[in-house]
Structure 1
Amino acid sequence: MSFSLSTTVVSPEGEQLYTFEYAALVTQTSIALVQVYVELGVIEAIGSMLHPREIARIAQIQRLRQDLGLNLAGAAMVLDMAAEIAQLRAQLKAHQSRPQNELF
């Protein structure tokens, strides 16, 4: 498998985006598997490019599947629930840090 040097682009928002080929290389998967994840909605692509958080999600899915034996749907659900829990914890922390007189 050969890779060109142009595996990244910068989005209009200034974020680095990476090719499916690069994602497959760093997550030790295949380009076809990355495409399947996009088609199933497990990860989100921007055209044919991926945000680093999506590449990290591929790696996390692979670990959950290999280490815990989860299927793809189960691994995606675990990651979605973990993200939701983190968001709820952040909201709770922000709410708890408000002075009492601002609550009402």
Structure 2
Amino acid sequence: MSFSLSTTVVSLEGDQLYTFEYAAWVTETSVMLVKVYVELGVIEPIGSMLHRREIARIGQIQRLRQDLGLNLVGAAMVLDMAAEIAQLRAQLKAHQTYRSTVN
């Protein structure tokens, strides 16, 4: 499948953004499913475009659903909790580093 130049745009911040069609193609899903994910708040578009991290999230959700048999809400919760754990670990490491330099 080939895409026109309108498949991607660059945001004001300099990030590449992609169409729903491109996201569906890359994640081997459908545009309809991408739109459902947007409507349910599972992924967050920027207008009618998606950031690379949102496309990666679609792929991760699909793998969790296929490999572990999770439903959409369960897969989204797993990814949200994993992100929160990573954030907490980073905060803990920063706190430990700070404490070791103060003591």
TM-score calculated relative to the size of structure 1:
0.92
Equivalent position of 1:76 in the other structure: 76
SS in structure 2 of the partner of residue 97 of structure 1? helix
Equivalent position of 1:61 in the other structure: 61
With over 3 angstroms needed to count, the CA separation of the structure-2 counterparts of 1:30 and 1:94, relative to structure 1, is same
Q: Which moved more, 1:3-12 or 1:33-42?
A: 3-12
Structure 1 runs of 4+ with >3 Å offset: 99-103
**What is the rounded CA distance, in whole Å, between the counterparts of 1:76 and 1:46 in structure 2?**
19
Equivalent position of 1:90 in the other structure: 90
Equivalent position of 2:15 in the other structure: 15
Contact residue 17 and residue 50 of structure 1 kept, 8 A:
yes
Give ranges in structure 1 of 5+ residues lacking alignment.
none
| 1:35-75 deviation line (CA, Å, top 9, x unaligned) | 00000000000111000000000000000000000000000
Contact residue 3 and residue 21 of structure 1 kept, 8 A:
no
Equivalent position of 2:51 in the other structure: 51
Could you say which structure has the higher helix fraction?
Answer: 2
Give ranges in structure 2 of 5+ residues lacking alignment.
none
Q: Alignment identity in percent?
A: 83
